[in-house]
Amino acid sequence: MSGSNAEKGLPRYDRDYLLSPAKRNQIVDLWEVENFGRDSFGDPDAVALYGMGPAEWHAAGVRILARTLLEAVRDPLGNRIGADVARIAAMAPAASGFGVVDCFAGSCNGLYSILRHLPDATGIGFEFEPAIFEMSSRNLASLGAPIELFNGDFRTLLDARRVPPGRRVVAFLAPPWGDALSREKGLDLSRTKPPIAEIIADFERVYADRPVLYVVEVHERLVPEPLTALQASFDWSELTIYDLAGPTGRHGVLLGTRRWNR
Ligand SMILES: C[S@@+](CC[C@H](N)C(=O)[O-])C[C@H]1O[C@@H](n2cnc3c(N)ncnc32)[C@H](O)[C@@H]1O
């Protein structure tokens, strides 16, 4: 299909429509993915996932839900995050590999992108919404991705499903922002769901004696106090905002390490 949605009498593929109760858990057709890309980014191929444009991933058997159009880390952002993680990983002392953990796995494309940039890395994802878990599990199987995805709340799974011993831990933290992102103040990292410091405390309990690289997805505008407190809790940290425009502003990462240079 070509031409705008308005010309064809279709709804605008915006946040309200895609997250509406009737639409959110529906599988979207390829033309809808392209319409969303056109409406939101002026580019029908904007929803690049798993290293492929929409037509290619659709042909490979990948299917996504309407809400995933909004929630997924798309390839341009995932690749930037992956490259930064790889840069820090390469500075670590000789290690026997990496285990990347995503507690908010969704489509798993954020996790998949990081894995594509790291040598000898495997992934563990947690996802508590059954509809997303099932869809992503099927997609990962058709891609042959080195990711184990578990259904449930990360707080109950983190301890039971650990990174194998000897591997360095990379913790990708991209929890739902909800009302932690406000137009006036930007993103408050102490109000994500759950707050970033609480998630880090959960990791520190499970991986108390392991080197951990925390990778926190952030917005270009950040409430200063929670950011400063988080930076102070790391042995080393680096904040990067990527030059990639999105409907809600530019995103980036706060990288922070604990025990990484051992
Ligand atoms: C913003 S999306 C993450 C998108 C993901 N980074 C991607 O690339 O597709 C957040 C996901 O976390 C899931 N989630 C939220 N809280 C969770 C929790 N406590 N445990 C496990 N999954 C959770 C939601 O169902 C949602 O799919």
pLDDT, residue 117, reads 97
Q: Note whether 136 and 227 are same-domain residues.
A: yes
Q: Could you read off the pLDDT of 16-65 as tens digits, one per residue?
A: 899 999 999 999 999 999 999 998 889 999 999 999 999 999 999 999 99
Q: Which segments of the chain are extended strands (E)?
A: 98-102, 121-127, 147-151, 168-173, 181-182, 186-187, 212-219, 236-241, 251-258
Q: Note whether 113 and 232 are same-domain residues.
A: yes
Cα(183) to ligand 1 centroid in Å equals 22
164: domain CATH number is 3.40.50.150
CA atoms of 111 and 152, how far apart (whole Å): 17
CA atoms of 69 and 51, how far apart (whole Å): 16
Q: Which of 74, 127, 153 to mutate to test the pocket of ligand 1 (most atoms within 8 A of CB)?
A: 127
pLDDT, residue 119, reads 87
Q: Could you read off the pLDDT of 43-57 as tens digits, one per residue?
A: 999 999 999 999 999
Joined tokens for residue 21:
């109760």
Instruction: State pTM to two decimals.
Output: 0.94
pLDDT, residue 32, reads 95
Domain boundary among 49, 71, 93: 71
For residue 112, the ligand 1 atom closest to its alpha carbon is 8
Domain residues for the domain of 33 are 5-71
CA atoms of 138 and 38, how far apart (whole Å): 27
Q: Note whether 65 and 80 are same-domain residues.
A: no
67 has a pLDDT exceeding 50: yes
Cα(78) to ligand 1 centroid in Å equals 15
Q: Could you read off the pLDDT of 122-164 as tens digits, one per residue?
A: 999 999 999 999 999 999 999 999 999 999 999 999 999 999 9
Q: Note whether 132 and 228 are same-domain residues.
A: yes
Q: Which of 47, 64, 104, 202 to mutate to test the pocket of ligand 1 (most atoms within 8 A of CB)?
A: 104
Q: Which segments of 27-153 are extended strands (E)?
A: 98-102, 121-127, 147-151
For residue 132, the ligand 1 atom closest to its alpha carbon is 27
Q: Note whether 64 and 144 are same-domain residues.
A: no
Domain boundary among 54, 71, 88: 71
Q: Note whether 107 and 196 are same-domain residues.
A: yes
1 has a pLDDT exceeding 50: no
Domain boundary among 71, 91, 112: 71
Cα(209) to ligand 1 centroid in Å equals 26
In the three-class reduction of DSSP (H, G, I as helix; E, B as strand; rest coil), residue 18 is classed as helix
Q: Note whether 233 and 137 are same-domain residues.
A: yes
Q: Note whether 60 and 132 are same-domain residues.
A: no
Q: Note whether 116 and 9 are same-domain residues.
A: no
Ligand 1 site residues (CB inside 6 A) read: 71-73, 103-104, 106-107, 109-110, 126-129, 132, 153-154, 174, 176
Domain count, the chain: 2
Is the model more confident about 151 or about 15? 151
137-162 burial string, b = 16+ CB within 10 Å, else e? bebbeebebebebbbeebeebbeebb
Q: Note whether 67 and 81 are same-domain residues.
A: no
Of all protein residues, the one whose alpha carbon is nearest to atom 6 of ligand 1 is 110
Share of the chain above pLDDT 90, in %: 84
- The helix-helix angle for 75-90 and 109-117 (nearest 10°) equals 40
Q: Note whether 254 and 192 are same-domain residues.
A: yes
For residue 174, the ligand 1 atom closest to its alpha carbon is 6
Mean pLDDT, residues 219-240 taken together? 98
Is the model more confident about 262 or about 110? 110
Cα(129) to ligand 1 centroid in Å equals 8
Q: Note whether 66 and 87 are same-domain residues.
A: no
77 has a pLDDT exceeding 90: yes
- Nearest Cα neighbor of 69 from 142, 18, 127, 132 is 18
pLDDT, residue 3, reads 55
